[in-house]
Amino acid sequence: MIGRNGHMRWPEAMDVIPSLWKYLPQSHKFSHQLKRIEHGYVNWDCSSKSFEGTRARDILPELVKSFQFDLFLGFCSLVDIFIDRGFGPNFDLESEWTDSLSTAS
């Protein structure tokens, strides 16, 4: 995974996340890692506590120097928080609220 240092969300994702966060019910804002409700999404910098992810973003420029890419697809910076181990367990495909998301237009 090539992500931003400290596993932070890229600025482009942070432009969207607060708008999405305000529509989540309280039950979907529960952090399974921190065992608490997150009233707003916090873009934690895990590198400040010597956590993995330090200098991760420095890998991409080195790859570009060494390889030619036909396509670069930035993926998961936005969706990852809603499916990962922190908040992902809050989403149930069988729930009424989640079902209403797929039928909304």
**pLDDT, tens digit, for every residue of 66-82?**
998 888 777 788 888 88
Query: 29 near 20, Cβ under 8 Å?
Result: no
Structure tokens at 37: 């409700």
Structure tokens at 83: 């499916």
Radius of gyration from C-alpha coordinates of the chain: 16
CA distance 3 to 103: 32
The verdict on pTM exceeding 0.85 is no
Give the pLDDT band (50/70/90) at residue 39. Answer: very high
Q: Which pLDDT value is given to residue 34?
A: 92
